[in-house]
């Protein structure tokens, strides 16, 4: 059982993989619903307009954008930038190009790690083989006895 403090309100709650308590999560979803409904009725509204009309803070709306729960429409984006290269983006934290590059680097890292692990296992096997002992399967021994 993992008990933690909610990152938002500070109350203790039974941790379930999400850093905020169920009550704060419910409030977050209510705020998101307000923003979503307002944008549905007023597509293309600006951040201040949405914030004023819904009572949801601009910071929280920006977080919804970074979490890819909302997207900026049109070409006049001056509020959301790629955290890596600074290019204007419509949603998330990275532009498509940086997402691809970071993903490729991560996969390359995983491949390198697997290769290193495989090489280490091969070296360990070679050392065991040099020692004169190795494990043979039971089936092999039975075949040898026949």
Q: pLDDT of 63-102, one tens digit each? A: 999 999 988 887 666 688 999 999 989 999 999 999 989 8
Provide the pLDDT for residue 34.
96
Q: Kindly report whether the global pTM for this prediction surpasses the value 0.75.
A: no
Kindly report each contact of residues 35-42 with a partner whose C-beta sits within 8 Å and lies 24 or more positions away, as own/partner: 35/61, 35/64, 35/70, 36/70, 39/70
């Amino acid at each position: 059982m993992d008990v933690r403090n909610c990152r938002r309100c500070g109350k203790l709650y039974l941790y379930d993989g999400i850093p905020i308590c169920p009550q704060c999560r419910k409030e977050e979803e209510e705020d998101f619903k307000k923003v979503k409904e307002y944008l549905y009725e007023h597509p293309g509204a600006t951040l201040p307009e949405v914030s004023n009309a819904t009572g949801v803070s601009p910071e929280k709306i920006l977080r919804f954008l970074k979490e890819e729960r909302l997207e900026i429409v049109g070409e006049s984006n001056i509020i959301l930038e790629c955290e890596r290269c600074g290019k204007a983006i419509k949603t998330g934290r990275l532009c498509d190009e940086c997402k691809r590059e970071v993903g490729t680097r991560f996969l390359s890292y995983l491949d390198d790690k697997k290769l290193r692990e495989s090489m280490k296992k091969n070296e360990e096997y070679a050392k065991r083989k040099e020692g004169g002992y190795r494990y043979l399967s039971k089936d092999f021994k039975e075949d040898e006895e026949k």
